[in-house]
Amino acid sequence: MVVPDADAAHRRAVDAGADVSGDPVEQDYGSRDFSVIDPEGNVWALGTHPGRSGGGLSGRLEHDKWRPHYARGTPWTPSTSS
């Protein structure tokens, strides 16, 4: 689920007593996210989304991790190595 501010969403989840996976983590692909488990055992991922305005990632596509791909007009693709 995309949220404008992962840290604020995390604080609200913790304050509400949610089963939270840990602190929000900055991912290599530009998202900042964390997971929660609802009472029925479903895992929900909450975080920001690169390229969406709001939160701490406003203008994230201008970040160095993204610039080389979009400057060439080619989309970023994740690494397939494990």
CATH of the domain at 62: 3.30.720.110
The model's pLDDT over 24-59, given as tens digits with 9 standing for 90+, comes to 999 988 899 999 998 888 999 999 988 754 444 444
Say what the pTM is: 0.59
Give the structural domain span for 20.
Answer: 6-71
Q: Looking at residue 77, what is its pLDDT?
A: 53
Quote the pLDDT of residue 75.
Answer: 52
Nearest CA to 1 out of 48, 39, 57 is that of 48
Q: Which of 24, 23, 9, 27 is nearest to 63 (CA)?
A: 27
pLDDT in tens, 4-29: 999 999 999 999 999 998 899 999 88
Residue 50 lies in a domain: yes
Please report whether residue 35 resides in a domain: yes
pLDDT recorded at residue 15: 92
Pairing of strands 43-47, 32-37: antiparallel
Cβ proximity of 24 and 32 under 8 Å: yes
Report yes or no on 80 lying in a domain: no
Alpha-carbon span 6 to 36, nearest angstrom: 12
